[in-house]
Structure 1
Amino acid sequence: MQTSDLRIFLAVASASNLSAAARQLDLGPMQVSRRLAALEAELGVRLFHRTTRSLSLTAEGEAFLPFAHTMTDAEESARGQLSPSAASVSGVLRMTAPSVFGQTIVLPLMARLMEQLPGLRIDLDLSDRVLDIVGQGFDLALRIAPLADSELVARKMAPNPRIICAAPGYLARHGRPATLAQLERHHCIVLQAVPKWPLLVNGELQRRRMGGRVLTSSVDAARTAALLGMGVTMLTYWDVRQQLADGTLVRIELEDALMEELSVWAVMPTRRYVPTRVKVFLDALDSELRQGM
């Protein structure tokens, strides 16, 4: 079984389109189709359902997907160990990250990395949902929510505490809350994913439902609403780091409650055969986050 055929299989599975995969691989559609047919013949199963209008993985193709990733990653890891130079960092880094963190931290970092590493490409899913990185073939997920127990490999990258904040104009009009009781009387901008704010009161984690006029599913929208003076919001440090630094948002600290401590986590499907592109990205991200704290 040739790893070149496995890469073709993975490209087609990702694009769900032969022509798009062929363009990505710089091959002709007929060449891609023939190599897929040869791989299916070698495996003795059909990997894709094909019609004139659509292409999708069969159950066998879905089952084969993580094995194909493991085999191609193992080859890349071996090549990286034998020739650990910039030229050896290549391929598509498939990753998912929270939307605001991805836009403000990941994309600028990737722009600099791709200047240095011409063989590196990125397939980035920006979503505040927790995705199945094994089933969907991601190399890496960056997560900020508390991690559930799983067989995935997690690496702590940086602290990311929750922050209560508001625009200076809002605080000038409504006053700056100093206690939990005062905070509960303010207009709060609430994320649908966190309807109750987690607060440490006398060392105990409590979840308080905050009243507010703005409820949103988007971290970006909550931050924008706060910048517009629509109320007090609770986000994480890396979501509002720049706004706190330039003074467009002001951090609010309470006398009788502390905020929950979170972290930025890098989550990978396995500790074995970690592709060189993932290692290089995580090293660069680690350096970036250390400078930004």
Structure 2
Amino acid sequence: MQNLGDLEIFAQVVATGSLSAAGRELGLSPAMVSKRLKRLEDSLGTRLVQRTTRQVSLMETGKGFYERVTAILAGIEEAQAFAARRSQQARGVLKVSAPTSFGRMHIAPNLKAFMGANPDLSIDLSLSDRFVDIVADGFDIAIRIGELADSSLVARRLAPVRRILCATPDYLARHGSPQTIADLSNHVLLPPHNNDPWRLEGPDGPLVYRPDGPLMTNSSEVIRECVISGLGIALRSTWDISAELKAGRLTQVLPAYEGSRNLAVYAVYASRQFLPAKIRVFVDYWAELFGPRPYWEN
């Protein structure tokens, strides 16, 4: 059986990304952290991390080992909390990753109520459109939007995502409203920032339309601002433009066609037999707040 302290050191090295940072967190010298990590690797007969002068990165075996070690440590933490009659109370730091726009528009404004209900819990929220590896990057949970592929992680659906074609009334007054999908070729189109095709659901079933437009950008928020300014037609999620739709600054185009119905907002976290209270209360809160018909659809 491995020394539990060595497992904790390994987990801290992965979470912080360097031997020195892990040492600061644990009150150990980098040399001692390196020695204990090597002892663990020697006892297992395999390398777990790739060391450089500034950081460490997980080897393939290390990724699976880290996932299992964190599960073990989380189970120990949960057992200790249960023994102390604290298992139902969320406490500590919860490290969360979320997409930039969604996090700004729908996570941040609702944190006050959540944190007020969980005063012993601190949130470390990272907003990025990068697809994070929650195990390697040390996150407890990630909010993701899309169609999730098979994974060893647990995913809980928080809300459906509805995407519609939209433009400003002024743009449609100047260029006319398209009546068919084929009419889109006569309009200024604003493709997604990653140049993916528009995957639509229509009266005749699914179809794929490849928009060709004059603007190229790596920012989804730029596309959002451009469609609101009246530049052209875009495919946007209603969570992103609900205020503009309600105010009449945007209007739906070709309402018979919408984006793929397989998209959703998910909370993703590592599979654990004993789910820490801080993750459970976080997921439950957003699942109840959003629900099958989220507030931005009202």
Listed as ranges, the gaps of 5+ residues in structure 1 are none
Residue type of the alignment partner of 1:55: Q
Q: Decide whether aligned partners of structure 1 residues 272 and 251 sit closer, same or farther in structure 2, where only a CA change above 3 A counts.
A: farther
Residue type of the alignment partner of 2:255: L
Contact residue 80 and residue 89 of structure 1 kept, 8 A = no
Q: Which residue of 2 aligns with 1:54?
A: 54
Aligned mates of 2:74, 2:282 — CA distance in 1 = 15
Once the two structures are TM-superposed, the CA of residue 258 in structure 1 deviates from its matched residue by 4.0
Q: Which residue of 1 aligns with 2:167?
A: 166
Q: Which residue of 2 aligns with 1:120?
A: 122
Q: What's the Cα RMSD here?
A: 3.2
3-state DSSP of counterpart to 2:285: helix
Q: Which residue of 2 aligns with 1:83?
A: 86
CA-to-aligned-CA distance 1:121-171 (integer Å, 9 cap, x gap): 3252522x5444444444333222222233433222111111212233323
Q: Which residue of 1 aligns with 2:176?
A: 175
Alignment of 1:1-293 (within 5 A): 6-21=7-22, 25=25, 28=27, 30=29, 34=32, 37-38=35-36, 40-41=38-39, 44=42, 53-57=53-57, 59=59, 61-79=62-80, 82-86=85-89, 88-93=90-95, 95-110=96-111, 112-115=113-116, 116-127=118-129, 129-193=130-194, 195-255=196-256, 257-261=257-261, 262-270=263-271, 272-290=273-291, 292=295, 293=297
Q: Decide whether aligned partners of structure 1 residues 113 and 4 sit closer, same or farther in structure 2, where only a CA change above 3 A counts.
A: farther
Once the two structures are TM-superposed, the CA of residue 205 in structure 1 deviates from its matched residue by 0.5
Q: Decide whether aligned partners of structure 1 residues 151 and 50 sit closer, same or farther in structure 2, where only a CA change above 3 A counts.
A: closer
Aligned mates of 1:80, 1:61 — CA distance in 2 = 28
Residue type of the alignment partner of 2:187: H
Identity of aligned residues (%): 30
Q: Which moved more, 1:226-235 or 1:59-68?
A: 59-68
Q: Which moved more, 1:190-199 or 1:160-169?
A: 190-199
Residue type of the alignment partner of 2:68: F
Contact residue 165 and residue 255 of structure 2 kept, 8 A = no
Q: Decide whether aligned partners of structure 1 residues 4 and 155 sit closer, same or farther in structure 2, where only a CA change above 3 A counts.
A: same
Contact residue 97 and residue 142 of structure 1 kept, 8 A = yes
3-state DSSP of counterpart to 2:255: coil
Contact residue 9 and residue 36 of structure 2 kept, 8 A = no
Aligned mates of 2:6, 2:114 — CA distance in 1 = 28
Once the two structures are TM-superposed, the CA of residue 33 in structure 1 deviates from its matched residue by 5.4
CA-to-aligned-CA distance 1:95-121 (integer Å, 9 cap, x gap): 433221122222333455345434423
